[in-house]
Amino acid sequence: MMRRVYRPTKPWHAAGNFRLAAFASLLILAVFILLLKNKGKPDTSFGLPKLKWNSFRSSVEFHPSLEFMNGTDVIWQIPDSPKAVLFLAHGCSGRAVNFWDRSPSCPNCVGLPEERLIVLNALARKFAVLTVSSTGICWSFGKEKDRVKGIIKWFIGENKLEKLPVMALGASSGGYFVSVLAKDMRFSAITLMIAEGKFGNMDIPADYPPTLFVHMPKDQRRMKMIGEYMEALKKKGIPVAEIKCMEFPLTPDLLSDRIPGLDQTVSFKLFELFRDKGFMDDNGYMKNDGRAIPWKEAIEGTDLLSDKNEWANHIQEEMNLAFAYHEMTSLQSEQIFKWFESHMT
């Protein structure tokens, strides 16, 4: 008996190729739709916003006001129709001038890359920004706390901002300072950056403000303490959250993207120099931060920087940031300001 065998009109591999082509077409279409959806949004690099130093040029500019008050520098700027007040506290060896670009209204301002981008983010979101210099290298917690408290109250009253929520962000020593200041001032929310705060030395009140910790897990000791303090705050019913900032590799255009006035050619040559000197591994990750690497000595005798001292702190800050152990960061500004905005009412 002869059996009837079914034979497909097309070979199996042809059908498979058809299905593969159809899948590829759908994938291309999905990518195209995603690109259209994300048009106009910031580029991302290693999961982080790739904001350039001039990202806010069309929407906001620096024109700060300055005052020497109670023995210290006070610098601020208020956007049109402000919706909140933000006090910023620098770290050790920092100054209020680090947050603002040099301009006719602030000829001694420095504009460090991360500090200035935090201010620009704040102004773009309609935050009135207030910066104050510590009277010493780092912040102290006695008379200085009362002095800054008085400056913030003066600033709010002088500019008729009493109805607005008040926030605070402090980095390193400034983070410790903000954590203590928040016990006496009615902040709507605070952010402590690369600082665990002084919670081990204070009785935390029930009305302590919602607290966001922005830290770098490579500093394991600090990360452990932040975890303990987050639990202590939670037990008091205080909202807490954290943002972990991870290391990322250097790229040839990182420095020119982040530092105003540093051109791409110099950025590329510095990248090559750092690579040739073994300051980074084969994947571009820093082997140590800018404080520990002898990069300034490495550029001696080169024509890379006309004024090494002018750029030293700017370059070192970005190297520190890439290493991600202890540095102020603007890369997480989107999450930080969403945290502030979620606690405005």
In a domain, residue 167? The reply is yes
Q: How many CB atoms lie within 10 A of CB 339?
A: 21
Which tens digits make up the pLDDT trace of 66-84?
999 989 999 999 999 999 9
pLDDT at 1 > cutoff 50: no
Tell me the pLDDT band of 148, cut-offs 50, 70 and 90: very high
CA distance 307 to 314: 12
HSE-up (13 A, CA, CB side) for residue 342: 14
Same domain, 219 and 332: yes
Residue 160 domain flag: yes
Considering the domain architecture, whether residues 145 and 71 belong to the same structural domain is answered as yes
Query: Are 273 and 126 contained in the same domain?
Result: no
Residue-level pLDDT at 307: 66
More confident residue, 168 or 15: 168
Q: Using the 8-state DSSP alphabet, how is residue 159 labeled?
A: T
The reply to whether 168 and 284 lie within a common domain is no
pLDDT at 86: 98
Report yes or no on 157 lying in a domain. yes
Indicate whether 99 and 115 sit together in one domain: yes
What is the residue type of 7? R
- Give domain status of residue 221, yes or no: yes
Residues 97 and 231 grouped into a single domain: yes
46 pLDDT more than 60: no
Under the banding of pLDDT at 50, 70 and 90, the label for residue 54 is confident
pTM, 2 dp: 0.85
Copy the structure tokens of residue 102: 């040099």
Residue 224: count of CB within 10 angstroms of its CB: 12
The position carrying tokens 């999450």 is 335
In a domain, residue 106? The reply is yes
Sign of the alpha-carbon torsion through 120, 316, 312, 298: negative
Mean pLDDT of the chain: 87
What whole-number distance in Å separates Cα of residue 224 and Cα of residue 249? 25
- pLDDT exceeds cutoff 50 at 15: no
Q: Are residues 218 and 81 in the same domain?
A: yes
Instruction: Residue 288: give the domain boundaries.
Output: 254-323
Express each pLDDT in 179-200 by its tens digit: 999 999 999 999 999 999 999 9
CATH number for position 181: 3.40.50.1820
- Give the whole-angstrom CA distance, residue 248 versus residue 283: 10
Mark whether 172 and 284 lie in a shared domain.
Answer: no
DSSP secondary structure code for residue 201 in this structure: G
127-132 and 72-77 as β-strands: parallel, antiparallel, unpaired? antiparallel
Q: Locate tokens 């020593």: which residue?
A: 173
Res. 6: pLDDT tops 80: no
> What value does the mean pLDDT take over residues 316-345?
96
Q: What mean pLDDT do residues 277-283 have?
A: 95
Residue 24 lies in a domain: no
CB atoms within 10 A of CB 26: 10
CA distances from 24 to 15, 17, 196, 332 (A): 14, 10, 49, 35
In terms of DSSP bridges, do strands 166-171 and 84-89 run parallel, antiparallel, or are they unpaired?
parallel
Please enumerate in sequence order all residues whose Cβ is within 8 A of that of 317, keeping only pairs 6 or more positions apart, or say none. Answer: 112, 113, 114, 290, 327, 328
Q: Are residues 227 and 319 in the same domain?
A: no
Residues 128 and 210 placed together within one structural domain of the fold: yes
Measured CA to CA, the distance from residue 117 to residue 125 in angstroms comes to: 12
Residue range 120-146: average pLDDT? 96
One domain for residues 196 and 75 = yes
The answer to whether residue 169 is domain-embedded is yes
Examine the pLDDT at 9 and tell me if it is beyond 80: no
Say how many domains are in the chain: 2
Q: Does residue 17 lie within any of the structural domains?
A: no
- Statement to judge: residues 195 and 229 lie in one domain: yes
Around 276, how many Cα atoms within 13 Å sit in the side-chain half-sphere?
8
